Chain A
């Protein structure tokens, strides 16, 4: 497929899906639709034989999610006619309506109520049961508390229906961009209509988006610009995109533009945007706004019912920021916030506000106070403890207190606490050589990983790979890496990408072998496929974008060598340059090579030499040897055999076999020195011990008096 087309199509698809009106144009076959309906029929007769996963996957592959917005409108039109009395229940072909988009729950519910009215109790029951299947499936796809355990849905229009069904109303919603803007999550600030309790619920539709593009992996798209493009393009249409745009701009320190984006969102009724503006005011990021305006923003967010805003206002009255100090008002606001959250959560938020400097500097003491208050009510944020732990590293008492809290939390099932406690136990086991701690750590980290915490999944992968706390199991380890990688864990992505590259290499090798033997390779069940290299590339790139140092150099190599992508020296140079800036010695060497050849950059030998010298000075033996070779050949720099020998000696002393071999060559050929066979053999021997095969051959030749190459 034409790559350019792919990117544009992807972006358009993404935009439409995110708007809640999915349009899927690429994946479509009659067979995938047939497979979907076959699964549905089977589920109808024997539900236990078809899992939600199977149904969901079949749904994603089918044309069902296409034009979900239009289909929903069709449903609304029917309902309008029903309500106006223009049509009655018996006039409507419910089978047709629900089959427009089988994952949309409202049509099923309307069908059920009509069928009850018509006395078709069995028919009604089926629709109700299918809705139960959908919501069970969605709610089992994660916990919805964080980005990494977000509930998986197809379109965000479905989100509203599901929440309505669960008796929740949405206070506001935002887009959260993760993994250097590669990942987009939909966060609904939902309030239980009965209890008034508020929570943030995360939704994710990237797998649907990937499926829509014909990919099964997570890293189908090729640019971190995706999130930015979506936010920028949709910022005029909906407040959640405008907020996302504001967040991006704010992260780039473009405060004026960020506040403009938030203001745009406020015009579309967003309370979160008001809250963001108020917090920007508090961090002095909006110097042009008056205190009155800032206060108005905070008050607006509060009036819209945003729990966090009540907590913030409480803090403002407590500190006398923008208002006269008033402990009573502060207390009242906190009280309202308390009613909106689980016990202690409001205090926890206040502690975090104090800690982050939003409520003025030097408020760590107050932060601790509110943290204790939260704790007393049973609300503890393990993230907060982790920060605390870093801060009190040297104070054993406080650290152990914090650890005990974490352990309690871990025992109560908090994934984050489990991961931190596990890590801490591992560190301790190393310090104290206490093996039982390793097993305890393994158990905790497994629990956390099973709950979906990416960092725990990565740790578990590593433990499996190296046999820490469990038996060595590379395959199982890789599986955990894959899980973590899907939640954007950059190190996991790097390792997964490397593994994929290995598969791709061996696949290509197998094919070329089979081809050379004139055997039809298609009859073989080879590991990997034509797309494996592309998947390796996408995954590596995702990791690089997130700033994984090794991935940065590696993606440069992929571009240079055309792994899973077209060869692009320009892109390679871009990534090597990023690596150089981050101090990567390999990147320096690779970038220097592009400079020497003028590939992807303008040829610049002096810059190349400077870069190699820098790498050599920092300990790159490859660069040291390379400099020696350059001075030896005199093709790129003035020939200087003394310098050449010095560079080779430097690297050879560090046991670098190529330099040892090169020194052997110098003495053998008398290149700038007297011919010295013994010296040559000495250096060849050293290289040979390192496994340098040519060096071994030279030793043999020099020791053989019949060899013509002796001189």
Chain B
């Protein structure tokens, strides 16, 4: 819904990237035969496509090979594909190769086409274009990856296209231990999937949770692992998959045996605590001016979040190694690593313990199921150990308020805390009452037909919701928010108008933003047989009750969560008491949410209170039907109808008894 402002969390993508010039990039591309270590696949190209007609491209071969037996990692890849209809042509006519010229070399072995049994080369080095992948600038990161792009002319249906390339080298910051993954299933079936890994003899390879059996051969210096799968099963496409879930299969391999080794790798990267005189001066100022440590921590966090602009230059080692704190402080920008290190440096100066904590922005839930390697993480935050409690602070957030007590909490679920002797992942335990809350209090003053209904809405955002609202207010302004509110209500009440200025009160200590808005609504009640029928609904909660499009499914689905909703609607009539309404409350408790509805009648009106607390971020496929049933049950609770007598003037009074008796007698012909 419109009023819910999406939380804007800047994530710092730790990636294998570095910055390189165009010239460097061109020099890093060569055209030569596949290296010796590669074992080339030979497949029969004369087989006929035996594919379902909905598939537009047939994949005859995917051959992925890694060589980590040498110091530098090498990766070889060959694919053979055949467009089988017009649609398929656009999928195959462009071949691109992505790599990082700073520490990787691309070598294209062949691009060739087999038409009517005749194979011709289509590799024309002069026509290969090198493009910077600068798209990530949008994420405020400079990313040095480039793409070598070959556009193939004159490709026809039924041509068989084969290309092969290899990439040699890896980011030195990742150390001597290698890791990677093979993709084992795609959205379409692959007729021949060949996977091969070469490693140093007797080096321990951690295959994580992969169940796929390999065959292993060894020579005097090398272990060779191979997998050969025919007609792989295409991954099913389903909607609303949770971020941590992928329907595609893969095999991870890693020379890191456990998380302890990853910690050892990382610990060295976060050692720099260089403090410039300016930074020292700032810390001294805080130390002198702020009384409690709580205040100092809050001030430092606010400084790192709001005054260090988010911007990452992830060049070379700096993809994983933060810049020195004094550099970050002086140039006033940095990415997650930079902000984390600066914050830790300051916090340590306050005498509190703080550590970098590597997290995954999308797969935190299943981090412990991943094969240990630096590749499991894409973000780093600060773990603060203070006052016998753990706090998880994210320097890349902005406009967070509320101090340590009321700060909004983002649940990354698991983290690798980088400190001495750390050997395991740490489960992040959400602090009590950490869920964000939106409390809405609507009061409808019904004016008995002599004027429009007055609606006063008080909406209170707490926790992360308050943070996001601050971000939105800072970027869009109050006017846009007021328009969003009005638009939201006009969906229910077409004849609604704003009555007075939007009032916004930001209590930064409590991390609560309260918005008060007033409206007038005309023509929204229904009059019938001397009754005024007033119907209300709670679309805000309904928006959290979303069923997936695919109901018969194999995979779990995401459900909106992380916010508790309290929605209160009060209906007041200036003239009369309601004739009737359903005053039965209700409760619904299940594995997905808690919901309650209470209806209270007071002298000045009737109040309906809905309370909705989501309990999970996803629903298992097997629970789909149950979930849909539960949300439908809840949806039925969100409406409320109350009936008032229609005002038709003064009620018949006592002195009119004679007339009433006369009317009664006449009506009943008595």
Does A167 touch B at the CB level, under 8 Å?
A: yes
Please report which residues of chain A, range 474-528, place their CB below 8 angstroms from some CB of chain B when the two chains form the complex: none
For B656, the closest partner residue in chain A by CB is: A109
Residues of B within 8 A of A162 (CB): 663
In the bound complex, do residue B528 and residue A131 qualify as a contact, i.e. CB atoms below 8 Å apart? no
Does B215 touch A at the CB level, under 8 Å?
A: no
In the bound complex, do residue A172 and residue B528 qualify as a contact, i.e. CB atoms below 8 Å apart? yes
CB-CB contacts of B629-655 with A at 8 A, as 1s and 0s? 000000000000101001111111101
Picked from A116, A135, A239, A268, the residue with its CB within 8 Å of the CB of B666 is A135
Picked from A72, A144, A188, the residue with its CB within 8 Å of the CB of B529 is A188
How far does the alpha carbon of A608 sit from the alpha carbon of B66 in the complex, in Å?
96
In the bound complex, do residue A139 and residue B667 qualify as a contact, i.e. CB atoms below 8 Å apart? yes
For A194, the closest partner residue in chain B by CB is: B664
How far does the alpha carbon of A555 sit from the alpha carbon of B643 in the complex, in Å?
50
Picked from B526, B530, B531, B643, the residue with its CB within 8 Å of the CB of A164 is B530
How far does the alpha carbon of A135 sit from the alpha carbon of B659 in the complex, in Å?
9
Q: A162-B663, A164-B648, A165-B659 are in contact. Are A113 and B529 (CB under 8 A)?
A: no
Does B454 touch A at the CB level, under 8 Å?
A: no
Q: A76-B450, A135-B662, A139-B663 are in contact. Are A113 and B530 (CB under 8 A)?
A: no
Does B91 touch A at the CB level, under 8 Å?
A: no
Q: A106-B648, A165-B656 are in contact. Are A238 and B528 (CB under 8 A)?
A: yes
Picked from B528, B652, B659, B664, the residue with its CB within 8 Å of the CB of A268 is B528
How far does the alpha carbon of A173 sit from the alpha carbon of B529 in the complex, in Å?
6
Does A122 touch B at the CB level, under 8 Å?
A: no
For A110, the closest partner residue in chain B by CB is: B650
Residues of A within 8 A of B533 (CB): 268-269
- Determine how close the nearest CB of chain B comes to the CB of A89; give it in whole angstroms: 12
CB-CB contacts of A426-466 with B at 8 A, as 1s and 0s? 00000000000000000000000000000000000000000
Does B217 touch A at the CB level, under 8 Å?
A: no
Does A132 touch B at the CB level, under 8 Å?
A: yes
Does B669 touch A at the CB level, under 8 Å?
A: yes
- Determine how close the nearest CB of chain B comes to the CB of A699; give it in whole angstroms: 70
Does B660 touch A at the CB level, under 8 Å?
A: yes
How far does the alpha carbon of A239 sit from the alpha carbon of B666 in the complex, in Å?
28
Picked from A75, A112, A135, the residue with its CB within 8 Å of the CB of B649 is A75
For B663, the closest partner residue in chain A by CB is: A166
Residues of A within 8 A of B662 (CB): 132, 135-136
In the bound complex, do residue A269 and residue B655 qualify as a contact, i.e. CB atoms below 8 Å apart? no
Does A695 touch B at the CB level, under 8 Å?
A: no
In the bound complex, do residue B659 and residue A160 qualify as a contact, i.e. CB atoms below 8 Å apart? no
- Determine how close the nearest CB of chain A comes to the CB of B448; give it in whole angstroms: 8
In the bound complex, do residue B648 and residue A165 qualify as a contact, i.e. CB atoms below 8 Å apart? no
In the bound complex, do residue A239 and residue B530 qualify as a contact, i.e. CB atoms below 8 Å apart? no
Residues of A within 8 A of B669 (CB): 143
Residues of A within 8 A of B138 (CB): none
How far does the alpha carbon of A170 sit from the alpha carbon of B529 in the complex, in Å?
6
In the bound complex, do residue A116 and residue B655 qualify as a contact, i.e. CB atoms below 8 Å apart? yes
How far does the alpha carbon of A557 sit from the alpha carbon of B664 in the complex, in Å?
50
Does A128 touch B at the CB level, under 8 Å?
A: yes
Does B658 touch A at the CB level, under 8 Å?
A: yes
Does B560 touch A at the CB level, under 8 Å?
A: no
Q: How many residues of B contact A (CB 8 A)?
A: 30
In the bound complex, do residue A171 and residue B647 qualify as a contact, i.e. CB atoms below 8 Å apart? no
Residues of B within 8 A of A166 (CB): 660, 663-664, 666-667
In the bound complex, do residue B526 and residue A268 qualify as a contact, i.e. CB atoms below 8 Å apart? yes
Residues of B within 8 A of A368 (CB): none
Residues of B within 8 A of A76 (CB): 449-450, 647-649
In the bound complex, do residue A110 and residue B649 qualify as a contact, i.e. CB atoms below 8 Å apart? yes
How far does the alpha carbon of A139 sit from the alpha carbon of B526 in the complex, in Å?
29
How far does the alpha carbon of A91 sit from the alpha carbon of B530 in the complex, in Å?
29
Does A161 touch B at the CB level, under 8 Å?
A: yes
Picked from B450, B528, B643, B652, the residue with its CB within 8 Å of the CB of A109 is B652
- Determine how close the nearest CB of chain B comes to the CB of A94; give it in whole angstroms: 13
- Determine how close the nearest CB of chain B comes to the CB of A230; give it in whole angstroms: 17
In the bound complex, do residue B650 and residue A113 qualify as a contact, i.e. CB atoms below 8 Å apart? yes
In the bound complex, do residue B663 and residue A128 qualify as a contact, i.e. CB atoms below 8 Å apart? no
Residues of B within 8 A of A164 (CB): 530, 648, 651-652
In the bound complex, do residue A107 and residue B649 qualify as a contact, i.e. CB atoms below 8 Å apart? yes
Please report which residues of chain B, range 248-292, place their CB below 8 angstroms from some CB of chain A when the two chains form the complex: none
Residues of A within 8 A of B529 (CB): 160, 170-173, 188
How far does the alpha carbon of A106 sit from the alpha carbon of B648 in the complex, in Å?
8
How far does the alpha carbon of A110 sit from the alpha carbon of B653 in the complex, in Å?
9
CB-CB contacts of A150-167 with B at 8 A, as 1s and 0s? 000000010011111111
How far does the alpha carbon of A270 sit from the alpha carbon of B648 in the complex, in Å?
20
Does A323 touch B at the CB level, under 8 Å?
A: no
How far does the alpha carbon of A341 sit from the alpha carbon of B162 in the complex, in Å?
88
How far does the alpha carbon of A165 sit from the alpha carbon of B641 in the complex, in Å?
27
Residues of B within 8 A of A75 (CB): 649
Residues of A within 8 A of B643 (CB): 269
How far does the alpha carbon of A602 sit from the alpha carbon of B574 in the complex, in Å?
68
Residues of A within 8 A of B527 (CB): 238
How far does the alpha carbon of A116 sit from the alpha carbon of B659 in the complex, in Å?
15
Interface centre among A163, A167, A238, by most chain B C-beta atoms within 10 angstroms, is A167
Residues of B within 8 A of A73 (CB): 450
For B575, the closest partner residue in chain A by CB is: A83
CB-CB contacts of A250-286 with B at 8 A, as 1s and 0s? 0000000000000000011110000000000000000
- Determine how close the nearest CB of chain B comes to the CB of A570; give it in whole angstroms: 42
Q: A110-B650, A164-B530 are in contact. Are A144 and B658 (CB under 8 A)?
A: no
Residues of B within 8 A of A131 (CB): 659
Picked from A77, A79, A112, A165, the residue with its CB within 8 Å of the CB of B660 is A165
- Determine how close the nearest CB of chain B comes to the CB of A245; give it in whole angstroms: 16
- Determine how close the nearest CB of chain A comes to the CB of B495; give it in whole angstroms: 15
Residues of B within 8 A of A170 (CB): 529-531
Residues of B within 8 A of A106 (CB): 648-650
- Determine how close the nearest CB of chain B comes to the CB of A546; give it in whole angstroms: 30
Residues of B within 8 A of A116 (CB): 655
Does A80 touch B at the CB level, under 8 Å?
A: yes
For A145, the closest partner residue in chain B by CB is: B669
Does A169 touch B at the CB level, under 8 Å?
A: yes
Residues of B within 8 A of A238 (CB): 527-528
Residues of B within 8 A of A268 (CB): 526, 528, 533
How far does the alpha carbon of A166 sit from the alpha carbon of B668 in the complex, in Å?
10
Interface centre among A113, A166, A171, A239, by most chain B C-beta atoms within 10 angstroms, is A166
Residues of A within 8 A of B650 (CB): 79, 106, 109-110, 113
How far does the alpha carbon of A170 sit from the alpha carbon of B528 in the complex, in Å?
9
Does A168 touch B at the CB level, under 8 Å?
A: yes
CB-CB contacts of B516-529 with A at 8 A, as 1s and 0s? 00000000001111
In the bound complex, do residue B655 and residue A169 qualify as a contact, i.e. CB atoms below 8 Å apart? no
CB-CB contacts of A355-373 with B at 8 A, as 1s and 0s? 0000000000000000000
How far does the alpha carbon of A57 sit from the alpha carbon of B656 in the complex, in Å?
27
- Determine how close the nearest CB of chain B comes to the CB of A569; give it in whole angstroms: 47
- Determine how close the nearest CB of chain A comes to the CB of B660; give it in whole angstroms: 6
- Determine how close the nearest CB of chain B comes to the CB of A154; give it in whole angstroms: 16
In the bound complex, do residue A161 and residue B648 qualify as a contact, i.e. CB atoms below 8 Å apart? yes
Residues of A within 8 A of B646 (CB): 160
- Determine how close the nearest CB of chain B comes to the CB of A395; give it in whole angstroms: 36
- Determine how close the nearest CB of chain B comes to the CB of A152; give it in whole angstroms: 14
In the bound complex, do residue B667 and residue A77 qualify as a contact, i.e. CB atoms below 8 Å apart? no
How far does the alpha carbon of A708 sit from the alpha carbon of B659 in the complex, in Å?
90
In the bound complex, do residue A144 and residue B667 qualify as a contact, i.e. CB atoms below 8 Å apart? yes
Residues of A within 8 A of B528 (CB): 172-173, 238-239, 268-270
Residues of B within 8 A of A140 (CB): 666
Q: What residues make up the interface of B, taking CB atoms closer than 8 Å to A? A: 449-450, 526-531, 533, 641, 643, 646-653, 655-656, 658-660, 662-664, 666-667, 669
Beyond known contacts A76-B450, A160-B646, A164-B652: 10 more, CB 8 A cutoff: A113-B655, A135-B662, A160-B529, A162-B663, A164-B530, A170-B531, A201-B667, A269-B531, A269-B533, A270-B528
The 7 closest A-B pairs by CB, nearest first: A139-B666, A170-B529, A106-B649, A166-B663, A269-B533, A165-B663, A166-B667
- Could you pull out 5 A-B pairs where Cβ atoms are within 8 angstroms? A76-B450, A110-B649, A110-B650, A238-B528, A268-B526
